[in-house]
Amino acid sequence: MGKILMKGNEAIGEAAIRAGCLNYFAYPITPQSEVAEYLSRRMPEVGGVFLQAESEIAVANMLFGAAGCGARVFTTSSSPGISLMSEAISYISSAQCPVVFVNIVRGGPGLGGILPSQADYFQATKGGGHGDYRLLVMAPASVQEAVEMVMMAFPLAEKYRNPVMILGDGLIGQMMEPVEFPEHLRSEPSNKDDWATNGMDTRKSNKPNLVKSLFLNAELLEEHNILLKAKYDRMKQEEVRYESYNTDTDYQALIVSFGTMSRVCRTVIDNLKAQGFETAMIRPQTLFPFPQEPIKQAALKESCKVVFSIELNMGQMVEDVERSVQGKRPVHWYGKAGGDVPTPEEVIDVIKSFF
C-alpha cells in the first residue's frame, strides 16, 4: 500500500483499527476531536464499537470494563480529559488491564489553551492518579511515528497487562503528513483466559476470574506492589526506545527533546552544523521507560560541554535528564508553555549563549 496524506488525528484512529483494535470509547475535546469524528464513521464500517460517553470519567471506566472482559480497547483525549481519566487509570493499572490511551496534549494548567504543549510529561510519566503505578509512555514526532506507536501500543499493553499512553501534542494531531500503515504491526489480541472476565463458559477452567484492585491485607498489597514494580523494572530493561541524531560528531552540546519540539531541534542541529558548530540530540521515543543510560553516555562524550532539555513546558523532562546525567555535565532547560512552539532561531540563540 502506498502513502496517503492524512491528518494525525485521523491516522491515529485508523492505526488502531489496523492494529486490530475495534473498540473505541471517547468524549470530545480539542485538539483531538477528529479522532472521534473519524471513528464514528469507520468503526461501523469494520463492525467495531464506537461510543461517545457522557464524560471522560465514564470513558475510562468503560475502557476498564471492556479491557477487563478481555477486549482490545482504546481512547483518545487531551489534557483536562486525561486528568478526569486518571482515577480509572490508577485502577486499571492496579487491576492490570491492557488499555491504550492517546493524549493529544494541550497547554495547561486548568483549561489552558489548545495549542501544542508537552506540559503533561509529569502526569504521564510520574503517575497522574494515586498510588504506585507507571504507564508505558511513547511520544511520536511525526504522524507516521504516531501511527507506528499506536500500532505497537496494543501488543505492548497486552505483554505487560498495563496501560500504554501515547503522548502527542496538538501539532501531531492537526498536521497532515504522508503515512503508511505497516502490515507487520497488526497483531492478534493475546489469550486472556487466565485473568479476564470473559465468561466462564468460554474458558476451559471452571474457576471464576476476578478483575480488581482492592487488597485490604497488608502482605497481599505489598506483594501486589512488588509484582507491579517488577513489571515496570522489566519495561526499563526491554522497552527503552530513542533516536540519536548527529551523535557521531564531536558535538559540543547535547540536546534532549521529544515529540514536536525534537523536530525543531533537528533543524537547530542542521543549521548549527552549517555554521560549523556541532550539536547532537537524543530523542526519547519512550518517556517511560526513560532512555537514562543512552543520555548519560551521550552527555559523557569528551567534546560535550553542556546538556539541554528542550521542552514545550516550564521544565519537566529536565528532571529526568538531570537524573540521567548525574551531575557529570551542566544541564539546562529551555522551553515555552503558551502554545507558541520556539523557532529554530530562538533555540539557536539559547544554545549559543552558553558558548
Among 61-69, 156-164, 246-254, 316-324, the segment contacting another protein (CB under 8 A): 61-69
CA separation for the pair 353, 337 (Å, rounded): 21
Q: Angle at which helices 8-19 and 33-45 pack, to 10 degrees?
A: 40
Among 17, 73, 310, 348, binds another protein (CB under 8 A): 73
We find the least distance from the C-beta atom of residue 139 to another protein, in angstroms, to be 16
Residue-wise DSSP of 180-193: ---GGG--PPPP-T
Instruction: Determine if 121 is a binding residue for another protein (CB under 8 A).
Output: no
Spacing of C-alpha 103 from chain mean position: 7
What count of Cα atoms within 13 Å lies in the side-chain half-sphere of residue 217? 4
Give the binding-site size for another protein (rule: CB under 8 A).
66
Q: Which is closer to another protein, CB of 63 or CB of 253?
A: 63
Cα–Cα nearest to 232, from 168, 299, 352, 137: 137
Q: Which is nearer to another protein, 235 or 337 (CB)?
A: 337
The answer to the question of residue 174 lying near another protein (CB under 8 A) is yes
- Which residue stretch of 161-169, 186-194, 328-336, 342-350 sits at the interface with another protein (rule: CB under 8 A)? 342-350
Residue 58 in the binding site for another protein (CB under 8 A): yes
Q: Is 104 in the site for another protein (CB under 8 A)?
A: no
Report the b/e string of 218-228 with b at 16+ CB within 10 A: eeeeeebeeeb
- My answer on whether omega of the bond before 31 falls inside 30° of 0, hence cis, is yes
Q: Which one, 235 or 255, has the nearer CB to another protein?
A: 255
**Residue of 15, 17, 36, 95 that binds another protein (CB under 8 A):** 95
C-alpha cell at 183: 502490515
Quote the least distance from Cβ 200 to another protein, whole Å. 4
Instruction: Say how many residues make up the chain.
Output: 355
By CB under 8 A, is residue 3 in contact with another protein? yes
Q: Report the C-alpha gap between 335 and 339 in whole angstroms.
A: 10
Instruction: Give the CA radius of gyration of the chain.
Output: 21
Establish if 217 lies at the interface with another protein (CB under 8 A). Answer: no
Lay out the site mask for another protein across 241-280 (x = CB under 8 A, - = otherwise). Answer: -------------------x--xx-xxx-x----------
Instruction: Compute the distance between CA of residue 298 and CA of residue 254 in angstroms, rounded to an integer.
Output: 7
Sheet hosting strand 242-245, strand order edge to edge:
242-245, 279-284, 253-256, 306-311, 331-335
The answer to whether residue 171 forms part of the interface with another protein (CB under 8 A) is yes
Kindly indicate which of the ranges 180-188, 224-232, 310-318, 335-343 contains the residues binding another protein, using the contact rule CB under 8 A: 335-343
Q: How many other C-beta atoms lie within 10 A of the C-beta of residue 151? A: 24
CB of 146 to another protein, least distance (A): 13
Q: Identify which of residues 168 and 170 has a Cβ nearer to another protein in the complex.
A: 170
Please state, in angstroms and as integers, the Cα–Cα distance from residue 258 to each residue in 142, 229, 255, 284, 309, following that order: 11, 25, 10, 6, 9
Q: Which of residues 35-54 bind another protein (CB under 8 A)?
A: 49, 51, 53-54
- Which of residues 44, 178, 191, 223 is near another protein by CB under 8 A? 178
Shortest Cβ 217–another protein spacing (Å): 12
Give the distance, in angstroms, between the CA of residue 73 and the centroid of all CA atoms in the same chain: 16
Residue type, 73: V
Site residues, another protein (CB under 8 A) = 3, 5, 23, 25, 30-31, 49, 51, 53-55, 57-71, 73, 87-88, 91, 95, 113-115, 170-171, 174-178, 197-202, 208-214, 260, 263-264, 266-268, 270, 339, 341, 343-345
